[in-house]
Structure 1
Amino acid sequence: MTIRPDFLDELDRFDAALDRETAALRQGEQESPRVGEGLTFSDYRRYSPGDDTRLVDWKLFARTEEYYIKQFEEERNLTVHTLLDASASMDYGEGDAHKFEYAAKIGLGFCYLTAEEHNDFRFSTMGERVDRLDTGRSNRGEVLALIDQINELDPEGQVDFETVLSAYADQIRSRSLVVVVTDCLAEPEEIESGISALARNDVDVLLVRVVAPDERDPDVVGDALFADPETDTTRRSYFSQSLVETYQSRLDAHVDEVKSRVTALGADHVLIDTGDEYFDSFASVWLG
């Protein structure tokens, strides 16, 4: 992967509020988006690299020569969980349109702005199991460390949506937003079962489906060898225009069915094309 951390700076142009009209949980019920205003002091914790220095208690530093961060009640009001599909099918696309890289930046953007809101985030990859990558610091330094880890990953294997999402749901202990970023290449029933396990009164779910331009409009004509990256199976076929149209129709039907099933559960569904400009896509996901 080749994710560069400087994309985080551009995210500052977005309003640092979880502003989705249909998701009160996602808004975190905070009284003010500005640091230190309308917040109730709760406790101190030691400073970690990447923390907002505006929250350092300098009077306490003068007495102890130790850096401590002021914590506020709203810091623990909402936890944002990002689950990134790291299966082999995500290893598709070229350059900035690469599905895994694009999807990772969507998830990292949520983590970055969540930290700016002084809320907690969790970042995990999902394949045959869920692997948590963050260390619980929920600050900019943590996001930078996550970028380094993701750049070392190679998508592989498959995702059992029902199993991994059900297992993860059992770990959620607080008011939460769960952001699942995936290409949804599974049966709609399996995705529905996984999202159903996550969705409950104190958990808001957002399913972000990524699709690459070549998946929506294949640039293939004539004899072609198709390979399934998750099972290593191949199939040779003559890809005629009529077959292209059939394929596109089935893809559209799959997208519509997944959306219908998850929205019926009260979850949100957003489709993004990795060929679009990243910040336009992120805005459509973040702002709704």
Structure 2
Amino acid sequence: MAIDPDFLDELDRFDAALDRETAAVRQGEQQSPRVGEGLTFSDYRRYSPGDDTRLVDWKLFARTEEYYIKQFEEERNLTVHVLLDSSASMDYGDGESHKFEYAAKIGLGFCYLTAEEHNDFRFSTMDERSERLDTGRSNRGEVLGLIDQVNDLRPEGEADFETVLEAYADRIRSRSLVVVLTDCLDEPERIESGVSALARNEVDVLLVRVMAPDERDPDVVGDALFADPESETTRRSYFSQSLADTYRSRLDAHVDEVNERVTALGGDHVLVDTGDEYFDSFASVWLG
């Protein structure tokens, strides 16, 4: 893998741009509806030169003609759990369209902005089981360390959504958002079973399905050898136009069925094309 940590600086500018854009409409600070700000109002103090004027309480000024600054205290009341599919099928795509790398950047971006919002995060990979990679610090240094770890990983093995998500659900002890980044190459009912185990109590589930452009529209003509990266089985077939149409129809049906099952459980399902610009995809996931 080759994830460049510089994308975190771009995330800062991206987040600031969202703040400005939303402030113009709502006169308020942009918050992700998925994460929230993680700050609670504490008290007022008099304005001092150099203070952020955005924190001035203008309604209080209208009553008192005095400038007061709102003070807040951190409230880490939400934990964001990122589960990144590291099975062999995620090792697909070229360059910035590589599924595992693209999904990892979305997950790492979630962790980074979650920490900026003064909330906690957990970051794990999953195939036949889940493996936690973070150390619980929930800060920028933690995210940088995670980037190094992810860059050393090579996706392999098979994904077992039902078993892994059910086991992970048993370890959640607080109000949480669980972000699952995967290509969803499993039976819809098994994905539903795993999501169902997560979507209980105060747990929200966001299933982010990553798909490479060649998966949606295979650039294959004629006789071809298809390989399953997880089971390593192969199948030779003549990829005609009619077979391509059948493939797309079955893929669309799978996407729709997974979407219906996840949303019926109260979860969110977002389809991400790795051929799209990263920050466009991140915005669609972060903002909902």
Distance (Å, rounded) in 2 between the aligned partners of 1:39 and 1:184:
44
Displacement of 1:118 after TM fit? 1.1
Conserved 8 A contact 2:37-2:118: no
Q: 1:19 aligns with which of 26, 29, 32?
A: 32
Distance (Å, rounded) in 2 between the aligned partners of 1:235 and 1:83:
31
Could you tell me which residue of structure 2 aligns to residue 51 of structure 1? none
Could you say which structure has the larger radius of gyration?
A: 2
**Deviation per CA, 1:156-207, whole angstroms, max 9, x where unpaired?**
0111111000000000011100000000000000000000000013101100
SS in 1 for 2:75: helix
**Correspondences of 1:70-219 after superposition (within 5 Å):** 72-75=73-76, 77-219=77-219
List runs of 5+ in structure 1 lacking aligned partners. Answer: 32-37, 41-70
**Deviation per CA, 1:206-240, whole angstroms, max 9, x where unpaired?**
00000000000000000000000000000000000
Structure 1 stretches (4+) deviating beyond 3 angstroms? Answer: 15-18, 28-31
Distance (Å, rounded) in 2 between the aligned partners of 1:39 and 1:204:
27
List runs of 5+ in structure 2 lacking aligned partners. Answer: 20-29, 44-71
Could you tell me which residue of structure 2 aligns to residue 2 of structure 1? 2
Letter of the structure 2 residue corresponding to residue 228 of structure 1 = D
Displacement of 1:18 after TM fit? 4.7
Distance (Å, rounded) in 2 between the aligned partners of 1:236 and 1:285:
37
Distance (Å, rounded) in 2 between the aligned partners of 1:243 and 1:133:
41
Structure 1 residues 89, 149: CA separation in 2 closer, same or farther (over 3 Å shift)? same
Q: TM-score, length-normalised on structure 2? A: 0.83
Conserved 8 A contact 1:103-1:182: yes
Distance (Å, rounded) in 1 between the aligned partners of 2:238 and 2:85:
31
Could you tell me which residue of structure 1 aligns to residue 61 of structure 2? none
**Correspondences of 1:26-41 after superposition (within 5 Å):** 26-27=35-36, 30-31=39-40, 38=41
Distance (Å, rounded) in 2 between the aligned partners of 1:247 and 1:216:
9
**Correspondences of 1:213-228 after superposition (within 5 Å):** 213-228=213-228
**Percent identity for Structure 1 against Structure 2:** 78
Distance (Å, rounded) in 1 between the aligned partners of 2:270 and 2:243:
27
Distance (Å, rounded) in 2 between the aligned partners of 1:239 and 1:73:
57
Q: TM-score, length-normalised on structure 1? A: 0.83
Conserved 8 A contact 1:28-1:78: no
Distance (Å, rounded) in 2 between the aligned partners of 1:118 and 1:143:
14
Letter of the structure 2 residue corresponding to residue 128 of structure 1 = E
Distance (Å, rounded) in 1 between the aligned partners of 2:169 and 2:257:
23
**Deviation per CA, 1:15-68, whole angstroms, max 9, x where unpaired?**
476522xx5xx326644xxxxxx259xxxxxxxxxxxxxxxxxxxxxxxxxxxx
Distance (Å, rounded) in 2 between the aligned partners of 1:133 and 1:269:
24
SS in 1 for 2:178: strand
Distance (Å, rounded) in 1 between the aligned partners of 2:281 and 2:162:
27
Displacement of 1:73 after TM fit? 4.9
Distance (Å, rounded) in 1 between the aligned partners of 2:37 and 2:231:
41
Could you tell me which residue of structure 1 aligns to residue 26 of structure 2? none
CA-atom RMSD in angstroms = 1.6
Distance (Å, rounded) in 2 between the aligned partners of 1:89 and 1:228:
8
Letter of the structure 1 residue corresponding to residue 79 of structure 2 = T
Letter of the structure 2 residue corresponding to residue 254 of structure 1 = H
